[in-house]
Amino acid sequence: MIAVNANPLADKYIDQGVEKYDAEDYQGAMDDFNKAIEIISQKSYDTYTFRGIVRYQLEDYQGAITDYNNAIEIDPQDAYAYHFRGSARESVNDLEGAFNDWRKGADLSDKDAAEYLESKC
């Protein structure tokens, strides 16, 4: 079980969404994450990050960026949201934004973001 929210039904949808993502059922994962976000009264940064990852896979880069923005607004220390938002920004040719996000992710101890900085910048 990945989810850590106070609502068991939301946790169920998050877990199902992760399973569907792993099975490359991106639309099914998106549906489950949408349901989880609707249920959770206190917004969950990790659910937005998960949904952003799915949107990225569906090539909805602007939607992914919006979800990562929401995750960062809820938890400004979410290194993964910065890392993934950097990749989405790179996909829409916002290279300066991508660099800044990877730098912030690396500063927050995300090793993958640090590797992106080394390899791409």
The 10s digit of each residue's pLDDT in 87-117 is 999 999 999 999 999 999 999 988 888 887 7
Chain-wide mean pLDDT for the chain? 90
CA distance 92 to 87: 9
Q: What's the pLDDT score for residue 28?
A: 96
The token duo for 43 is: 């917004």
Specify the fold of 8-120: 1.25.40
The token duo for 61 is: 């880069």
Taking alpha carbons only, the member of 40, 23, 42, 20 closest to residue 31 is 20
**Residues of 68-82 as b/e, b for ≥16 C-beta within 10 angstroms?**
bebbbebeeebbbbb
Supply the pTM of this predicted model: 0.82
Segment (H or E) for 11: helix 8-22
